[in-house]
Amino acid sequence: MQITVYISATLRTFVNRKAKVEVQGNSVRDVLQQLQDEYPDIKKAIFEEENKLRPFVNVYVNDENIVQRDGLDTLLQEGDSVLILPAIAGGAPVESVISDERRKEVSLDDSEIERFNKHLMLRDIGVKGQKRIKAAKVLVIGLGALGAPVVQYLAAAGVGTIGIVDFDEVTLGNLQSQVIHGTRDVHRPKTASAKDAIRAIYPKIKIEEYKVKLEADNITEIIEDYDIVVDCTDNYKARYLINDACVLLGKPEVFGAIYQFEGQVSVFDAKTGPCFRCQFPAPPPAGLVPTCAEGGAISTLPGIIGSTQANEVLKLIIGGGESLNGKMLVFDSWNLHTSILPVHKNPKCPICGRTPSIYQVEDFNYEEFCGLQQNEDEIPVEGIEAEELAARIERKEPLTIIDVREPHERAIHRFPSAIAIPIGQLARRQKELDPDVDTIFICREGKRSILAINTLREAGYKGPMYNLKGGIEAAQNIIFSHEGAWL
């Protein structure tokens, strides 16, 4: 029977950038096997050895997650649809996180009644709801593309205390999507420009500023005084730290993620539903699934996803409405496809399951957590510095340069002499490499290229291979800055 398989944006590079594929099959296993037969590059992205589904990949049949149920043996019927969703995630109406006691301690003056009159006119908000908003304390972690609309709308709504966390500075490349920052803010701390923007919207808001990088030894102290935590980060280590701290402290977390044209929003509250680890027990290996920074995102998408996160925050504060707790909204802005998928609590979750093994927020080695830590019996991946590569090219030494980046990345910074081979095609295209010549692998930051080298090793390639340390980011000032550059 014919089944429609929807492909998440993060996996479309493996299926010729198709958003959906029509295949034949009687079970999920049949469907995924045919998908692999037609697009062999996708196998490594979704399966481990022995055809075991990777832990960061979820499969939905008609919006129902089958991974924690019948798994790949789930039977299908004519007209069913399958969605493959990796990490980049019906709830009952929610109760307010703000107690009546705290609400009653707050009053609204005449200017606030005028400012928030549109809220006061809504039966589901009214005076009580607006006082809850004023009493609330919300922490926004990450002031980039998602954090920008979140803090803007929370400030406009009148949230009484907003905490902002980011250790980074504004760059020119941020301005395409991070609308809270302006041209004059380039090189300023993001917390500083965000603070100015919040004050411009509503000067009465109390702003707590944390220009720090979240670590295991500071996250609990930062989070503990807030009612709600909003995850607007762009890396997996931060996501797992935030999740663990929120679970252990009993805080609801509003999660958001974007990649290219696709976004995800969910509410994780382990007291009443699943946590982030329930949905994604482990992150993908670094480099296998590109990040937003590597894959880009259309400038309007974070506005849509960030506004949705802010909306979920307000529902938690006010109480009522349909929450995304136990659900994940997945929005494809380019193909205009929206799904609201159930997220189930995992009884085996190591932090909120029946027999938890995590009792405190612990720092961890991300590479070891992702299975990238070099084992003692493994051959280490050798690296080459950008200066050395530039010198070898100037000397016209025989080299093979393999570029594993996305096409849009190569259009920005390119190596005319490089061969473009996606990671998923390396094993079957290894005959294009000369084992008697050094092969240099390049990507944006030097992570995907390590994965590429390990992929070829597993496929049996014996030639000398080197990773460009730091990737194009490290090389552009050396290689691309002089006249006659390769850019």
- How far apart CA 455 and CA 293 sit, in angstroms, is 23
Annotated catalytic residue 275: no
Q: Among candidates 341, 454, 257, which has minimal Cα distance to 59?
A: 341
Whether the Cβ atoms of residue 186 and residue 172 lie closer than 8 Å to each other: yes
Annotated catalytic residue 443: yes
Whether the Cβ atoms of residue 28 and residue 35 lie closer than 8 Å to each other: no
What pairs with residue 140 in β-bridges?
164, 230
What pairs with residue 183 in β-bridges?
none
Residue 55 phi/psi, 5-degree rounding, is -70, -15
Strand order in the sheet with 465-468: 383-384, 465-468, 439-442, 400-403, 419-420
Which residue reads 């107690």 in tokens?
A: 99
Q: Among candidates 473, 428, 466, 436, which has minimal Cα distance to 450?
A: 466
Kindly name the residue from 349, 352, 370, 443 that is annotated as catalytic: 443
- How far apart CA 191 and CA 189 sit, in angstroms, is 5
Kindly name the residue from 275, 292, 352, 370 that is annotated as catalytic: 292
- How far apart CA 414 and CA 385 sit, in angstroms, is 18
Q: How far is CA 89 from CA 267, 275, 330, 466, in A?
A: 8, 10, 7, 36
> Which residues are the active-site residues?
292, 443
